[in-house]
Chains A and B, each alone.
Chain A
Amino acid sequence: MEQNTVEADLLIIGGGTAGCYAAKTAAKLNPDLNIVIAEKADIRRSGCLASGVNALNAYITKGKTPDFYVDYATNDADGIVRGDLLLTLSQRLNKVTADLEKMGLVILKDENGDYVARGNRNIKINGENIKPLLARAARRQRHVKIINHVNIVDFLVDHNRIYGAVGFSLLESAAYVFHAKTVIIATGGASGLYKPNNPGFSKHKMWYSPFNTGAGYAMGMRAGAEMTTFEMRFIALRCKDTIAPTGTIAQGVGAKQVNALGDVYETKYGLRTSERVYGTVKENQEGRGPCYLKTTGITRQQEQDLYHAYLNMAPGQTLRWLENGGPREQNVEIEGTEPYIVGGHSASGYWVNTDRETTVHHLFAAGDVAGGAPQKYVTGALAEGEIAAEAAVKQIQKHPDSIPTSVDAKAKAIVKQAEQYLNHTDDQPSIQEIETTMQTVMDQDAGGISQYYGYTTAQLAIAETKIEELQKQIELACAHNMHELMSLYEVRERLLVCQCVIAHLGARKETRWHSFAENLDYPEPDNQHFQKYINSVYRNGQVNIIYRELVKRDEYYEH
Chain B
Amino acid sequence: MSIKIDKEKCNGCGLCADICPGNLIKMVGKGKNRKAEMAYPDECWGCMSCVKICPKHAIEFYLGDDIGGKGTVLIAETNHKEIDWTACKEGCILEKIITSRKDANKY
A residues apposed to B, CB below 8 Å:
40-42, 44-47, 50-51, 54-55, 106-108, 116, 118, 124-129, 148-149, 170, 198, 200-206, 209-211, 241-242, 248-249, 251-253, 305-309, 311-312, 314-316, 318-320, 322-324, 483, 486
Contacts and interface: CB of A to CB of B under 8 A. Distances in A.
Contacts, number: 174
Contacts of A203: 42-43
A128 B83 contact: yes
Given A40-B23, A198-B66, A309 B105 contact: yes
14 contacts: A124-B106, A201-B64, A202-B67, A203-B43, A211-B22, A305-B107, A309-B105, A311-B85, A314-B46, A315-B61, A319-B87, A322-B72, A324-B70, A483-B23
Contacts of B67: 198, 202, 205, 241-242
A42 B22 CA distance: 9
Contact of A45 (B19, B44, B97, B103): B19
Contacts of A198: 64, 66-67
A251 B49 CA distance: 27
A148 B20 CA distance: 11
Interface string B31-47: 00000000101111111
Interface of B: 1-2, 18-23, 39, 41-49, 61-70, 72, 74, 76, 83, 85, 87, 89, 94-95, 97, 99, 101-107
Given A124-B105, A126-B99, A201-B64, 18 more contacts: A41-B23, A46-B21, A55-B105, A118-B107, A148-B18, A170-B23, A202-B67, A204-B46, A205-B46, A241-B68, A248-B107, A253-B107, A308-B106, A315-B48, A322-B72, A323-B72, A323-B89, A324-B70
A205 B23 contact: no
Contact of A323 (B70, B76, B103): B70
B49 A50 contact: yes
A323 B69 contact: yes
B74 A319 contact: yes
Contacts of B66: 198, 200-202
A47 B21 contact: yes
A126 B72 contact: no
B99 A202 contact: no
A211 B19 CA distance: 13
A106 B18 CA distance: 26
Interface centre among B1, B22, B42, B63 (most CB of A within 10 A): B1
Given A241-B67, A307-B97, A319-B61, A201 B42 contact: yes
A315 B105 contact: no
Nearest to B67: A241
